[in-house]
Amino acid sequence: KASDLDQIKQFVNSNKTLANSATYGQAKGKNVIIFHLESFQQFLLDYRWEGQEVTPNLNAFYHDQNTTAFDNFYNEVGQGKTADAELMLETSLFGTSSGSAMTNYGTNNTFQAMPALLKQEGNYTSAAFHGDVGSFWNRDNTYKNWGYDYFFSKAYYQNADNPDYNVGYGMKDKIFLKDTANYMQQLPQPFYSKVITVTNHYPYDLDDKNISINKTNTNDKTVDGYVQTARYLDQAFGEFEQNLKDSGLWDNSMVVLYGDHYGISDNHKDAIAKLIGKKELTPLDLANWQKVPLMIRVPGMQGGINHTYGGEIDVMPTLLGLLGIQDSHLVGFGQDLFSDQNKQIVPFRNGNWVSSEYTKYGSNYYVTATGTKIDPKSDPRAKVAIDAANKYVETSLRSSDKIVQGNLLRFLDKQDVPKNKTKDLSYKKSVGMK
């Protein structure tokens, strides 16, 4: 009902943050390149195995003076995994409590999505790139509905079906990224683009010629190949970066890297403990295990490691701030990570949460900084903060579900929905660029 939307808008508006004047508009007019690091966890950055950096290129990007890297940033996906990450990043709505929202609602719902919004606000061309079939996670339909001008799925790549070019869900990242860089160079600027890698995906298989680091030795078969495919992804990124530098795109683009969700599920506790050098895992270790990278490189803007607590739901408002685009009409559930008014509460799809102060894990609470368990009943100050966080998290998730499941954004005023000019496109028939 339309009245449900009004209530939700009140909640959303009461959580709007004031932009940070130091970062607002720093990337205005620049191309946007979102580079999706499949199944990539934060712990891999600067991680060493047998004395070697596993991901030297990503580490260099992490420490680049123009990169702002959030080291308290969490994935917030549900069953929709990659698709949930995409939905959060581009609409600031959560995946649904079960199933994949992109699959179930991507085709027909009304959205305020990044591609259409940037087209409207900055005449951006938009393109998504992925080396799997276009229909996976209902991407082809959802992307049209979000306003993507182009979707370069597997069918657009040369010899994409060559068995030697594929592993797991799709094309090997290095091969996929070569053509991707060529296509990208031909896009009209400014453009908004996202590049979804796939090789670093469970079960972390790789052909011998692409292996350049030994497996880890946790003796957990599903875990030990992870550093090998992560290394491969790192090299693929390194090649792509070089390509962007050669073509001049690197210096007029905001490059955003993020990990979509865990690579090693917390069912593998013994192996995780070995990887991070601990005897036993605490609930806080397990919450930390959900950290993924968010790194944003803006040419000319001073970066650094930023400790603000946030998650995937916050990316859209954060990027809009950097691009100097107002988000006052956005009905979304994230907050600009650069704003001083950010609540720093990170809801997970299972109702757990992490904040800069406290962590809810199962039915217990902990001090985030120390991992000390606390009982809110005997700590009135903590209780106030915890009750407020619980309420914020529950309201956010419930409201987001109502919007997605009830297609409530169709009740928005027309001028608050960015015009969709690609709804009737057929990516399958549209001609690939040469």
The closest residue (CB) to ligand GP9 is 81
Shortest distance, position 261 Cβ to Mn ion, whole Å: 6
Shortest distance, position 18 Cβ to ligand GP9, whole Å: 35
Quick one: 260 or 312, whose CB is closer to Mn ion? 260
Stretch that binds Mn ion, among 7-15, 138-146, 253-261, 378-386 (CB under 5 A): 253-261
Binders of Mn ion among 255-274, rule CB under 5 A? Answer: 260
The closest residue (CB) to Mn ion is 82
> Which residue is it, tokens 């990516």?
427
Binders of Mn ion among 46-85, rule CB under 5 A? Answer: 81-82
Is 179 labeled as ligand-binding? no
Residue 291 DSSP symbol: B
Report d(CA 369, CA 382) in Å as an integer.
Answer: 14
Run of H or E including 391 = helix 380-405
Residue 297 binds which entry of ligand GP9, Mn ion, none, with Cβ cut-offs from 5 to 8 Å by kind? Answer: none
Residue 42 binds which entry of ligand GP9, Mn ion, none, with Cβ cut-offs from 5 to 8 Å by kind? Answer: none
Strand bridging mode 253-259 / 31-37: parallel
Is 38 labeled as ligand-binding? yes
Quick one: 151 or 338, whose CB is closer to Mn ion? 151
Q: In the structure, how many helices (H) and strands (E) does the chain have?
A: 13, 17
Shortest distance, position 198 Cβ to Mn ion, whole Å: 8
Is 260 labeled as ligand-binding? yes
Shortest distance, position 136 Cβ to ligand GP9, whole Å: 4
Q: Find, among 232, 226, 204, 258, the residue nearest to 61 by Cα.
A: 258
Residue 136 binds which entry of Mn ion, ligand GP9, none, with Cβ cut-offs from 5 to 8 Å by kind? Answer: ligand GP9
From the list 68, 82, 91, 368, the catalytic residue is: 82
Quick one: 102 or 389, whose CB is closer to ligand GP9? 102
Report d(CA 121, CA 30) in Å as an integer.
Answer: 13
Q: Find, among 185, 182, 157, the residue nearest to 171 by Cα.
A: 157
Q: How far is CA 423 from the centre of its chain?
A: 24
Residue 231 binds which entry of Mn ion, ligand GP9, none, with Cβ cut-offs from 5 to 8 Å by kind? Answer: none
353 in helix, strand or coil? strand
Is 67 labeled as ligand-binding? no
For 57, other C-beta atoms within 10 Å of its C-beta total 19
Rounded alpha-carbon distances, angstroms, from residue 100 to 104, 133, 169, 346: 6, 17, 18, 20
Asked about 82 being catalytic, the answer comes back as yes
In the complex, which residues of this chain contact ligand GP9 (CB under 6 A)? Answer: 81-82, 132, 136, 169-170, 196, 198, 201
Shortest distance, position 160 Cβ to Mn ion, whole Å: 20
Q: Find, among 391, 394, 375, the residue nearest to 383 by Cα.
A: 375
Contact by Cβ (8 Å): 112, 317:
no
Cis peptide before 190 (omega within 30 of 0): yes
For 364, other C-beta atoms within 10 Å of its C-beta total 12
Residue 411 binds which entry of ligand GP9, Mn ion, none, with Cβ cut-offs from 5 to 8 Å by kind? Answer: none
Q: Find, among 130, 60, 153, 99, the residue nearest to 349 by Cα.
A: 99
Quick one: 78 or 418, whose CB is closer to ligand GP9? 78
Quick one: 237 or 366, whose CB is closer to Mn ion? 237
Residue 432 DSSP symbol: P
Return phi, psi of residue 16, to 5°: -70, 140
Residue 152 binds which entry of Mn ion, ligand GP9, none, with Cβ cut-offs from 5 to 8 Å by kind? Answer: none
Quick one: 131 or 190, whose CB is closer to Mn ion? 131
Shortest distance, position 260 Cβ to Mn ion, whole Å: 4
**One-letter amino acid of 213:** I
- Numbered residues of the known binding site for substrate: 201
- Numbered residues of the known binding site for Mn(2+): 38, 82, 260-261
The residues that are catalytic are 82
What is the contact surface with Mn ion in residues (CB under 5 A)? 81-82, 260
